[in-house]
Amino acid sequence: MKIYKLGLPVLFILLLTNCSKERLDVDPVNEFLSENFYQTEDQVFAALVAAYDPIGWTMAFGNWVSEVMFNEIRSDNANAGGDPSDNDQPGWQEFDDFRNTNTNTVGLPMYRRLYIGIFRANLVILKPEISSPVVDRYQAEAKFLRAYYHFELFKHFGPIPVVTELLAPDDVDLARNTMSEVFTAIETDLLEAINILPISVSSSEAGRATKGAAQALLGKVYMYWADLANDDSATFDKAASQLREVVQSGAYTLVDDFNELFAYNAKNPIESVFEIQKSNLWPSDWGWFEGIEGNGMVQLCGVRGLCNAHPDYIEGWGFMLPTQGMYDHFLSDDEYRRDAAIISEAELAQEIEDAGGSCDVVIDVTQSNPIDFTGYWQEKFSNYKAYEGNNTNGGDPNLTKDANIYSIRYADVLLMLAECLHRGSGSDGEAMGYIDEVRERAAGPGDNTGSFRTASQLMSDQGWDLLEVIRYERRAEFAMEGDRWFDLVRSGRATADLFAGDPIRGVNFDENIHLWLPIALQETTVATNLTEYPDASLFQ
């Protein structure tokens, strides 16, 4: 397998002309250079913090780059939204309508952000000049991060160049690796990390990779690999083995009340396997997009045109609007999960009335995109009024809202395990047990034994097979959390039929092009062996 020595995806070449030696011989402005860094545990830890940093970027190079937004807007779960012009954030409008090309303004920042993460992880893995158990852990975390970034790149762009070495000047002309090569590199990193990472971390280390996080990520990687490799049963079994170890570790359990997962200031609950940390302590502003430590999605995806009498929410900018199909997906006895994910104008009006308030106009719909507006808004990233007093260090209040982002929840582990048992050589009975854990919690807080429909009952009542039950559960459980598009692509359900009733998507969607994002023109111009889209020969 050819692994490319890449640090950043594009080389920034400095053309130095007419410079004398004397003009170049200047004293360094920093205390440390790459040649004399990575020599202490503290220095390696500083590099590790930098490697974690791109995971939390909701903006990069002046553009919103949220995976959650992409995976919902690209799918049948949500529309882009925004203002009435239908040109608010044009890059995202193109994603929504399948009009994006290799000059889309968001695709390049998404690609660069992830390769920046890989570059920084490689520094931690390859540069330290000391060895100790502490440094071993830091390097295991960096391998987790390198695997995470490679997997995110694959999910967006298909088979991409694998990067496990530092960049040399002559290595710019890279090409895509095959799917097997990408997944094998990810597998190797995660297996090595699993052997070293701690089972759990203290509250002061929240957000750092653990053994369970690495096993859950590897289970998800295997599941994708198996699905895309023509339903490979043996790889589903490998996924089930990793995911079962997460369950048997006893480190995680479901939060009793589903709503509490998304309440104001909910952070790192017992259900969180890997969670992206956000903070309001840094005075974030529009001058440094990569330095925004808050969660920009909260303002971006809040209810647009909401009157100020609501007891809990302030208005937002109205992106990631749930579709009617998303709302209708929930069965009649699954209202608790639906209401945690989606809110309507009628519900907002009722909440205002219940709080003793009133508005002449609850929602000013003239502020919303008329093409994308459905009358629904997402609620898992709620724009709470409490955020107004949550920033103690200045900065733009729209950028300092610190809601964390779940990357992998324990419910995901349970449903992935159920799917892999069913599609591998495991027990359907065991699989249904894990589904029922998720469904019991979905019925509301407290003990719901006997008061919810089990997986077996759903199969009987709805006429579904077990895989259809699992797919229903995944869409309902993770609505508006950023799993839908990738679930559709890996399982071959992102088809023209899915969008047939949509007057825009149904016309534009092409299965031969739109399953993956094109690599940006700026990249393929520099790397002439790098193809815009992956061809079928790479999926082996």
Provide the β-strand partners of residue 306: 363
pLDDT at site 6: 42
pLDDT at site 23: 41
Distance of CA 136 to the CA centre of its chain: 27
| Number of folded domains that form the chain | 1
CA distance 193 to 187: 10
Q: What is the DSSP letter of 384?
A: B
Residue 132 near residue 39 (C-beta atoms within 8 A): no
- Asked if the structure places residue 186 within a domain, the reply is yes
- Asked if the structure places residue 56 within a domain, the reply is yes
Distance of CA 421 to the CA centre of its chain: 24
Q: Which domain holds residue 163?
A: 1-12+38-65+106-197+495-533
- Asked if the structure places residue 100 within a domain, the reply is no
pLDDT at site 136: 98
Residue 448 near residue 440 (C-beta atoms within 8 A): yes
Quick check: pTM over 0.85? yes
CATH code, 168: 1.25.40.890
Helix (H) / strand (E) element for 344: namely: strand 342-344
- Asked if the structure places residue 215 within a domain, the reply is no
CA distance 479 to 197: 30
CA distance 8 to 163: 10
- Asked if the structure places residue 370 within a domain, the reply is no
CA distance 78 to 344: 14
Spans of the chain, pLDDT less than 50: 2, 4-26
- Asked if the structure places residue 113 within a domain, the reply is yes
Locate 416 and state its tokens: 């992935």
Locate 438 and state its tokens: 């998720």
CA atoms within 13 A of residue 290's CA, in its CB half-sphere = 15
- Asked if the structure places residue 419 within a domain, the reply is no
pLDDT at site 86: 85
Provide the β-strand partners of residue 79: 321
- Asked if the structure places residue 256 within a domain, the reply is no
Residue 458 near residue 464 (C-beta atoms within 8 A): yes
CA distance 320 to 440: 28
The alpha-helical segments, DSSP class H, found in 170-291 are 179-194, 211-228, 233-248
